[in-house]
Structure 1
Amino acid sequence: MESSYLSSAIKQFEYYKSLGDKTINKLSFEELKKEFATDSNSIAIIVKHLVGNMQSRWLNFLTEDGEKKWRKRDEEFIDDFNSKDELLAAWQQGWECLFKAIKPLTKNNLEQIIYIRNQGHSVTEAINRQMMHYAYHIGQIVFIGKLIKGKNWQSLSIAKGQSKTYNKSKFKEDKSRKHFTDDI
């Protein structure tokens, strides 16, 4: 279970990153900065927050508190990206920090205690905490992208009205053990 947990967690993070990648790539810089209401977050702001969180949580993951003293969380909610390239570079840096920390882990690390704001978590709990946090925000990114594109949005999963066709194709395949993202 432990080795399958780590490989599954990595695949899940890669999947969520791919949803963000696909959404960001569909949008212009102006669309990435669009806020729908006062004090709402644009995709650019969500990206900035995710990057700040990733860098704080995953840098020296096993040896330092996940809430770094140098992190300025409140500033993550101020959009100061000057270009889509700058936003994309930050996005990549955040994910690189995560993958650099998680890919070398072994089953021996899973019960090790790490801290986030002085609260002890097993490595497994910390991974789960961050995965759910990122899924939450990437869901927001995809939803905002869908709102912006409207009828021009192309689904990133099973399109509306296509469930029967999708399931039919899946049930034609032989049963096998694999991660759901292997075919994506």
Structure 2
Amino acid sequence: MEIGKEYLKVVIERFSSVKGLGDKTINQLSEEEIHWSYNSESNSIAIIVKHMSGNMISRWTDFLHSDGEKEFRNRDEEFIDSIHSISELNEVWEQGWKVLMETLTSLNELDLFKKIDIRGESHLVIEAIERQMAHYAYHVGQMVYIGKQLKDTKWESLSITKGKSQEYLKEKLEKNKIDRHRC
């Protein structure tokens, strides 16, 4: 087995999973709710999406050949809520993820140990991937938390429902057993 290829496959799946949590959160929210923030120091989901997209476009554009902090990026502007609708929010969200996924799928196992710069600091590609995974998971976690607070009892769980762990485990084990017998 080629570990580099396997790593890239797994990391693409993980980024897709993180994106999926964000997608499912956004899909539960209204136009008004995407702009809600707890206080002036907190970010709304609209701001988090703008920031993540700006970061993704900057970091993953020309990934192997130029610093991840691009001159065209205006990070401070990412923290101004200027998104006007859920459809615009989704466009901004998808733009960033498109750049990220296209770049990841273009990489090969030999690229993982190349050096790239982010804000003038040198990183191995594998290190930069992990750095961004942590960053995006952190922000999507914030989005999910905000969504849960806003929707309260109307929130559609994105994971195992509270009090249903044993049921979930039993169903999962039975499904895996059936799947193994098919092979």
TM-score (norm 2): 0.93
Equivalent of 1:34, from 33, 36, 51? Answer: 36
Distance 2:127 2:121 in 1: 11
SS at match of 2:26: helix
Between the two proteins, the alignment pairs up a number of residues equal to 177
Partner of 1:174: 177
What residue identity is the alignment partner of 1:138? Answer: V
Moved more, 33-42 or 58-67: 33-42
What does 1:110-125 correspond to in 2, within 5 Å? Answer: 110-125=112-127
Partner of 2:67: 65
What does 1:34-113 correspond to in 2, within 5 Å? Answer: 34-113=36-115
SS at match of 1:121: strand
Distance 1:169 1:124 in 2: 35
The alignment's C-alpha RMSD in Å is 1.4
Divergent runs of 4+, >3 A: none
SS at match of 2:113: coil
Distance 1:109 1:118 in 2: 19
How far the C-alpha of 1:170 sits from its partner, in A, is 1.9
Distance 2:65 2:149 in 1: 41
Distance 1:69 1:31 in 2: 32
Distance 2:139 2:4 in 1: 27
How far the C-alpha of 1:168 sits from its partner, in A, is 1.0
Which segments of 5 or more consecutive residues in structure 2 lack a partner in the other structure? none
TM-score (norm 1): 0.93
Which segments of 5 or more consecutive residues in structure 1 lack a partner in the other structure? 178-184
Partner of 2:144: 142
SS at match of 1:94: helix
What residue identity is the alignment partner of 2:120? Answer: N
Distance 2:122 2:178 in 1: 40
How far the C-alpha of 1:104 sits from its partner, in A, is 1.2
What residue identity is the alignment partner of 1:62? Answer: L
How far the C-alpha of 1:171 sits from its partner, in A, is 2.1
